[in-house]
Structure 1
Amino acid sequence: MTPAVPLVLLGLVDAAFSGFRAYAGSDARIRKRRPVTRATLRGLAVGVVLLLAPALTAGLLLLFTSDQTRTHGTLTAGGLGYLLPLTAYAAAVLLSLTAYFVLPFRASTLAMVIGLAPMTLLRPLAIAAACLGAVLNGGGGPALLVGVIAGAAVLCVEPVVHRRWYQHVQ
């Protein structure tokens, strides 16, 4: 199994949420469906562009290696190691989101305060854990390189969206 597809999907979902976070709090209107959708799509678009960097890095590693089979195996092992911590993180975020949308108002507010807010702050640590997982699972230097570039890409989506579209609002 190649971990590329689930990793790309996680990266794109994270980018969409990053677009929303870049917009959140910048508009006092009550009905915000259209601006929220626009912000989410902006995050997704920026994420698509930024996630080309790790894909290009992996492609170049495979192109310029002397043993493509070994490098592909190393990147696959590293990708699986990278995926495990991110899957645990995504499950915790999904649980918090589910609580937020399903529970009554007070409980959903509590779910946001003790679940979603800290999980947002823990994103860099989750990516660091994913990089460590990539190395420990046998990915070595190539997987670490691709993982660090991918982590930097997803962490840059929110600041890029905020700076480009929402910095003037406040």
Structure 2
Amino acid sequence: MTPAVPLVLLGLLDAGFSGFRAYAGRDARIRKHRATARAALRGLAVGAVLMLVPVLAAVLLLVTATDPGRTYGLLTVGGTGYLVPLTGYAAAVLLSLVAYFFLPFRAGTLAVVVGLGPLTLLRPLAVLAACCGALVNGGGWPALLVGATAGAAVLCVEPAVHRRWYRNVL
């Protein structure tokens, strides 16, 4: 199986969380479920558009390659290497979310402060580790190119959503 499907799903999930983070803390209302859902959907929409960049990069690499089979193999191997660090990062985020939702209030709050806060700040390092994983796994420069564009796309979602919808909200 190609690692593209889980990578795109992880990217879109991260985009939804990025939309939520762009909105978080901007509204003092107690009941804001619709607003947070709208923010997550905005992040998802922006992320879906930005994820077209690495998809187009991969398609262009495959179309212009002298040996498309070899290039596809490099992208597959590199994508697997890219997926490994991101899976560990996503598992840590998921563990923090589970703790937040299922532990008592104080422990859940601690899970956010100790887990989700630092993990959000470590997102660029997780993308860098994923790019290194693509290289170490043998993907070469094609996998690095697609991985770097995918990482840049994912990291641009939150600032784009914030700038478009929440810049003047305070």
- Range into which the TM-score falls when normalised by the shorter chain: over 0.9
Instruction: Specify the alignment match of 2:48 in structure 1.
Output: 48
Residues 86-105 of structure 1: matches in 2 within 5 Å? 86-105=86-105
CA distance in 1, matches of 2:138, 2:55: 19
Residue 57 of structure 2 corresponds to 57
**Partner of residue 166, structure 1:** 166
Using the TM superposition, give the Cα deviation of residue 134 of structure 1 relative to its aligned residue in structure 2, in angstroms.
Answer: 0.1
Q: Which runs of 5+ in 1 are unaligned?
A: none
Residues 80-113 of structure 1, C-alpha deviations (whole Å, 9 max, x = no match): 0000000000000000000000000110010000
Quote the residue 1:74 is aligned against.
Answer: 74
| Cα distance between partner residues in 1 of 2:124 and 2:5 | 21
Deviation at 1:155, TM superposition (A): 0.2
User: Gaps spanning 5+ residues in structure 2: where?
Assistant: none
Q: Deviation per CA, 1:19-61: give whole Å up to 9, x if none.
A: 0000000100000000001000000000000000000000000
For 2:19 and 2:120, locate their aligned partners in 1 and report how far apart those are by CA, in whole Å: 13
Q: TM-score, normalised by structure 1?
A: 1.00
Amino acid at match of 1:74: L
TM-score (norm 2): 1.00
Kindly state the Cα deviation for residue 165 of structure 1 after the two structures are TM-superposed. Answer: 0.1
Distance of 2:86 and 2:49 partners within structure 1? 21
Identity in percent? 74
Letter in 2 for 1:80: T
CA distance in 2, matches of 1:80, 1:106: 38
Q: Alpha-carbon deviation of 1:119?
A: 0.4
Letter in 1 for 2:47: G
> What's the counterpart of residue 31 of structure 2?
31
The residue type paired with residue 35 of structure 2 is: P
Question: d(CA) in 2 for partners of 1:30 and 1:44?
Answer: 24
Paired residue for 2:153?
A: 153
Look up the SS of the partner of 1:138 in the other structure: coil
CA distance in 1, matches of 2:114, 2:34: 28
Q: CA separation in 2, counterparts of 1:151 and 1:37?
A: 24
Question: Equivalent residue of 1:125, what SS?
Answer: helix
Alignment RMSD (CA, Å): 0.3
Aligned letter for 2:169? V
Listed as ranges, the matches of 1:101-120 within 5 Å are 101-120=101-120
Aligned match of 1:10 = 10
What's the secondary structure of 2:137's corresponding residue? Answer: helix
